[in-house]
Each structure stands twice: as C-alpha cells, then as structure tokens.
A and B are shown apart, each in its own frame.
Chain A
Amino acid sequence: MTGPLQHPGYDEEKLRKIAELLPCREVQAELLLSLMGQPEHRSYPAIFIYGHRASGKSHTINMIMKELELPHVMVSCVECLSVALLFEQVLLSFFGADAAALLPRGPSLSDFVRIYRQQCSDSPAKQTRYIVSIMEKAEMLRDTDANLLPALLRLQELVEDNVSVILLSEIVWDKFRPNTGCFEPLLLHFSDYSKGELQQILSKDRHPSYSAEFYSSYINILLGVFYSVCRDLRELRHLAALNFSKFCEPLEEGKAKESDTHKLWRNIEPHLKKAMRTVYLREVSSLQWEKMQEMEEKEAGAVRGLSAHTHVELPYYSKFLLIAAYLASYNPARTDKRFFVKHHGKIKKTNFLKKNEKTSNHLLGPKPFPLDRMLAIFHSVVDSRVAPSASIFSQISSLVTLQLLNQASHDDQLDAPKYKCAVSMDFICAISRTVNFDIVKYLYDFL
C-alpha cells in the first residue's frame, strides 16, 4: 500500500480506517503519528496543537486515540471548572475509580502527582498515556491557577511516567507562555481547509436520492456565497443541510432538470443571501427557517428575527429620560446652550469646533455625562413642568438595571453619579417617534 499512514507498531487495518475517517488531514495525522512513535516508545512530553475552529483538531486526535486504542483521557477545559475535576478525570480513566477516590477534598497539584506516582508504580505503563486537553476556553488554564499550565507541561518529568500532554487550542502559544517561562511544548499547526478541501468534505454527506455531481454543484454555489464570510466547516455544513431542500424544489416541481445549473442557481442564490442575514446570525432559529421554507407564499425573512424585537414599552417620562440621556451622551456639553436655551444668539458651527470633536460622536461612542446635565436636558425637552420627584429618580435607576443606561462612575458614588447611554440610534429614533419628538434635529452630528 502506498497510503500515507504506515507506522510500525500499529495495526495496518486500523491505520487504513483512520485514513478514511480523516479526509484532507492526512499530513497532520501522519505527522502526529510519527511524533507519537510506537506505543511503547517515549513520546514528547507536551505537544501544543493550534489551528482555526473546525479544522479537525480534536476529531483527528479523537480518531487516532480511539481507533488505535491508546490509553488516553480527553479533558475539556470548559467542563473542568476546578482543577479537582481535571485530576479526578485523569486518575479515573488511567487507574480506575479506586485511584480517583484517593484524592482528598480540594486537592492540590501535589496530591495529584503523589497519587499518580503511587498508582503508576503499582501498574507501570506499557504504552504512552496521553492526556488530551481541549482548550476551548483557554483562559481557564492561563488564569485560574498560575501553576497548572507549567506543571501540566512538565508532567512527564514530575510523575516519571511515560505520559504525554496534548493541548488543543484556537489561540497561538505565545499567549499562553507564563512570564517566568516554562517547558516549551512542541508546536504543531493544523492548517485551515482550502476551498477545494471544503468542497470535498462537504460533498461527502450527499443526499442518497440525488446524484453526487448534483450535490457537489449545490455545495459549490453555497461556498460561492458564504466562503468570503465563513470558513467554519461546522457552520457551513449546518447551512448546507438547512438549505438543500430549497435547492431541490424546482426539481420536485418539475421546472428544471438536474443539469439546469443556471436555473437552479438563479433559484437558490437570493435565498442563500437571505440565509446569511438570518440563519447565519441566528436571527431566526434553524427550526423557524425550515418552517419558513415550507410556507411557500410567505417570503423567507418575513418572520421577524430576534433583533426585530427591539421595541420596548416604556413609561412616558422614562422615554424622555432616555432621550435626554442619548442627547447628553452624543452631544458635546458646549453645544447644549445652543440646542436647549431659547435666546442663545447665533453661533457658527465652526466656532465651537474643537479639533477632537471633528470626528463624529456616533463613531466614537457615547460619552459619560453627569446626572445634572441629563436632568437639565430632560426638563427642557419635556413640554410640561415635571417635579423632580422620587419616581423620576427611581426611573433613572431602573433604566440602569434594564441596561439602557450604564453607570460610568463608581457604584458607591451617591452625589453626582455619571452615566452613559447604551442604546442604538435606531432604538432612540423609534422611541422619540412614539412621543413625537424629532431627535435628529437636536443631534450635533447631523446638523
């Protein structure tokens, strides 16, 4: 066999099976296997594998470990909230439940290493043991316990066993290195799938009732729309599964044949573009999307997505408070006189332009403002006289809890607290329309 996977010490049949299970990852699997060496040989103490999401990192490792039946434990750092869970999993899968029970409550690394050594001397390893830890949330290994990562990397030396730690991550190794340094792992990169490879992999899960070329031309169209935005295999596969029924529609109705690529493309392309706006962003759930495809007369996308539900019912004064907050956040304080005082005289815009105010505030984001300024603007935009009662102030604090306002100053500052407005332009326009207030007229940026 001239196949890529040939390693002494492993069953050839199994290797062939692995090669089939790992399309387009032959090079990486090959490199990994050759680094791991024969099962009874020493492996490198720590291997760090990085690559983009869904580039087959954990899949490759998983397949190799499972098919070759190597002693291993898969640990996900998201699941292991505390180091105790991690230790328990490792001991449990290497030495059985008895060993895991030996761990005291709140175990330290020292306890773990001691128990590991004890167990290890009772049952010495015939093969390399692998600890594979998947760092989806890499911060955990970095932040929780400063010693954990350096200790894991030196585990082979610490427990004096033939053990190898494999770390998988999306983030490059440079971000993990502790400031006093540590044992440097061997870095491996899983390169991203190219367009051709994506096409090849996605074409594999074709529908049995259609031909392979038909499905592959569908994938081609799908990649044509989504490839510039998304290269995540999982996401693409999900989208392909969702939209395939729509693609087949003209066939079933008898309007087109399988070879009418152009017609099929004309049918599906707007649909896919719509999908990018909706399903891709999880505006509409996959279930809703499927239902929408069934309802023919109703245009896809007519169902309101998540972000369409931004309309919030607020009390009258709360609306004005929010408007005042928005104006205070996005207008410079020196322009307040011009907007809200009746006889202000004529001021040219260029006169009060400071250099840093030239860039639009809608680009820089909201500025913090003191409570007094907001109340002053509030009283000038509300037509009627409003008494500064307790209810007004409680409405301000409830706007903060609704996260429509953010407190910019420290929490315990009671006098002159500062706030920031945290709503978007569209939202505030909708609010001001309900109270017949033309907010654009009062915004400095749109003068």
Chain B
Amino acid sequence: MSKRKAKETHVPVGECVAQLQKTLRERLCCGELPEKPEGVDAQHKHLLELLRRTALHGESNSVLLVGPRGAGKTMLLKSVLKELLKEKDVNKTLMQVHLNGLLQTDDKIALKEITRQLHLENVVGDKVFGSFAENLAFLLEALKKGDRSSSRPVLFLLDEFDLFVHHKNQTLLYNLFDVSQSAQAPIAVVGLTCRLDVLELLEKRVKSRFSHRQIHLLSGATFPDYVQRVQSKLWLPEQFPDQRFAHEWNNSVKALCEDKSVEDALQRHFNSSKDFRSLHVLLMLCLSRVTVAKPCIKPADVLEASRVCFADAKANMLHGLSILELCLIIAMKHLNDVYEGEPFNLQMVHNEFKKFLQRKSSTIYHFEPAVVMKAFEHLQQLELIRPLDSPGARTQREFQLMRLLLDTSQIMEALQKYPQCPTDVKQWAMSAFA
C-alpha cells in the first residue's frame, strides 16, 4: 500500500494507466516498430545491403522474403526501409510502390495503382483509365527510358506475393522481373509470402528472370528467448512520463516472467506456436485486465487469458445445445461407431434415438419427427454436421447423407461439462454399443 501512496503524490494512477495502455496497445495492436528487430540480424543486414545497392548504385534486384504468418516479414521490411530512408541521398531519390495481393486482385488494378503511386497520372492524363496494354506499354516505356546512372530507383514491394502468381499469365510479375534483369531503370522487387513453395507456382519464363534470392524468416527462438520477448513486449520505455510508475511496472513484469505458473502457461503457448501474433493475443488479453484499481499484471491474469486462448470453440458450442440436440449427436456417434464412419441421414439417427427411448424408461418423452428434424437442421446450421453431397433440392431432407464433424473425445468431454445432463443420457453415451 505504501507504493500506491507514493504514486499518487506523483502523477495520478489513472493517467499512468491510461498512458500505459496507450503505449502497449500501440505496440501490440498495430505493430509499432521495435527499435531493433530481434533474432533476425543476418536477414536484416542482407536485405538492407541489397536495397542500399539498388538505391545508391542503381543495381536491379529481386528478392523474396519467405516465412510463416506472424514471423515478422513486414516488420523486417519496414525497419529496413526506415533505416534506408535515414540516409541522405536515398530519401530524395528512392521511390516506393506498395502493392498487396489482397487488394490488387488483377493486373489491371495493380497497374493503375502503380501509375498512381509513381505520380504518373498527370503524365498519362486520362490514359490511366485507358486500355491495359496501352498502360503497360507506357509504363514499360517510362522504365526503359531510364538507365542505371540517371534515373531514380524504384522499389516494388509486393505483399502477399503468392496471390500475384494467380494473375493471368503472370504478366505483371514477368514484366517486373524482366525490367529488373535488363539494363533499364534500376528497380528492386521485394516479395513477401508465407508459402514455401512459391517458386513452384511461377511460370518457367518468370522463374528464370527471378534472381532466386530468398530470405527465410524461420523462427529459431528457444523458450528462454520467448520469455525474453514477452518481457520486452511489456517493458515500458525510458521516455515514460512517470518514471516511478514505469519502474514499478517493469519490476512487476520481471517478477511475472519469473513466476512458475506463468512460465508453464507460456510454455504451452510456445509449444503450440512460436509466432508473434498469438503472443500478442495473449498479452492483449492480459493487458485488458489492467485497471486503475489493479495497475499490474498478476499471474492469475495470464492463466485466465491463456484459458481463453486455448478454449475449444466446438466444445463451447456443444455446451449450449438443447438436450434433444445432444441426444441426436450421441446417436450419430453411435452410428459412427457401429458403421465405422459411414455417412448417415436423419432417419437413421432418429431410429437410433427411438431405440434408446424404447429401451430406457427415460426422463425425456417422445418428440415428434418434425421437432427432431428442426433440431437436426439446427445442428446443420451450426456446421456440426455437413451434408455429403452438394446442396440442392435433389434429395428429401430426411434422406440427405451427412457426416459428423466432431470426434468422440470432444463429445464425451462436452457431455461431462454439460449442465444438468440426465444420467441415462450420459450412460447411453458411455455404452459402447447402444
């Protein structure tokens, strides 16, 4: 409590927490660049050197950054660009064209975007919206006219590179790589992708023009690195307005990372995935529990957040089903057991369910077939069961073949957690052959 008092004399806790939330949220949510990228020094140096050669010496290059999602490809590229732009000459001459495979879904849109980003619209006039061929010819002409020494270097940054591969004839890629191979305006093509087999997708002629320079971002982090990363993500910087609060916060983070139960939780996360994004989700959930009344992260918060992250979504959905729907799922499970994964239809499920009702003087009374069908359709809506053939009015609803998209252990676990589950239903589910 004495700590608390000391803070209040300084800057109100409320402001401190608000400031803390602001700083950390910016770091976690929108990928604010860290001062120094961790663990990718070699890649950083390689890429920086490459882009610098394009920017300063007019060398044309092409490179692919490959790594799984959330491995820090964009972060690396951005930090390299930031460093590159610090240099005096580069800042004035280098031109950047950012393209994203998600947005520029075909070559025509991409071309428009390139023209726009190179500020060529006024040169082309209304030709931007002219034909594709014309536009391309103009752009290529503009690039061809340049040469190594005099024209400004252009950086093409292709995010989601693998989606550009699906464009018709890969025209854009062919032309970009072609320019980078021949003595025209100096350009560098940087592609970011998460597919390891991206080179197999390229056409032969495109592939031959690509420099085959790949930078892999495969996380080789060990668990201590991971914990270190957690700590650095939560660390408050020196420039924080209230030094004392920052100091206390940093101490509490340090203590948190050394806590045994937190370490176990982090180990679980580390085992399931090493990437930054899933870590961000976890930290974000922890951070959201920091309030004025409790201005630090407790181990219990981490455990709770970890529980939210690892929650089985299907089990959550099963928990909310009605008894009738649950009974149908158990009947499906029995059908799956008996007929070894053969698909089933509503009639069979209902038949199985009726057998159960006949055998046991159960607490559940008989349901009309139509009520059962309504429950069955609800299960289909929730996509817990999937029709085998393509949808259509071709077959009657009760004879449409279905497959169950749950496995036995999921069903049994859900049954244990189900609130007020009748005992006979539970026993029916347990019995191997109903």
Contact = CB atoms under 8 A, between A and B. Distances in A.
A382 to B, nearest CB: 26
Interface string B288-319: 11011000000000000000110101101101
A365 B398 CA distance: 8
Given A37-B25, A109-B103, A228-B324, A173 B313 contact: yes
A363 B322 contact: no
A237 to B, nearest CB: 16
Given A51-B320, A229-B322, A365 B345 contact: yes
A220 B212 CA distance: 71
A31 interface: yes
Interface string A334-378: 000000000000000000000000000011111000000000000
A52 B419 contact: no
B130 to A, nearest CB: 15
A170 interface: yes
A35 B288 contact: yes
Interface string A90-116: 000000000000000000111001100
A195 B284 CA distance: 32
Contacts of B394: 406, 408
On chain A, which size bracket covers the interface? 35 or more
Contacts of B100: 158
Interface stretch (B56-64, B87-95, B258-266, B362-370): B362-370
Contacts of B321: 231
B330 to A, nearest CB: 14
Interface in A1-52: 6, 8-9, 31, 34-35, 37-38, 40-45, 50-52
B324 A186 contact: no
B30 A108 contact: no
A180 to B, nearest CB: 7
B406 to A, nearest CB: 11
Contacts of A283: 370
- Majority DSSP secondary structure for residues of B touching A: helix
Contact of A406 (B105, B381, B395): B395
Given A8-B14, A181-B69, A110 B30 contact: no
Contact of A365 (B281, B288, B292, B395): B395
A319 interface: no
A101 B117 CA distance: 22
Contacts of B277: 183-184
Contacts of A52: 317, 320, 382
Given A108-B103, A180-B194, 13 more contacts: A35-B288, A37-B21, A41-B25, A42-B30, A55-B320, A158-B103, A186-B284, A187-B311, A189-B313, A191-B316, A229-B322, A283-B370, A366-B396
Interface of A: 6, 8-9, 31, 34-35, 37-38, 40-45, 50-52, 55, 108-110, 113-114, 147, 150-151, 154, 156-158, 162, 170-175, 180-184, 186-189, 191-192, 194-195, 227-231, 276-277, 280-281, 283, 307, 362-366, 403, 406, 408, 420, 422, 424
27 contacts: A35-B284, A35-B285, A37-B25, A38-B21, A41-B25, A44-B284, A50-B316, A51-B316, A108-B105, A108-B109, A110-B103, A110-B109, A110-B113, A114-B113, A170-B381, A172-B314, A186-B285, A187-B309, A189-B316, A191-B320, A192-B320, A276-B371, A277-B368, A281-B374, A307-B370, A364-B345, A365-B395
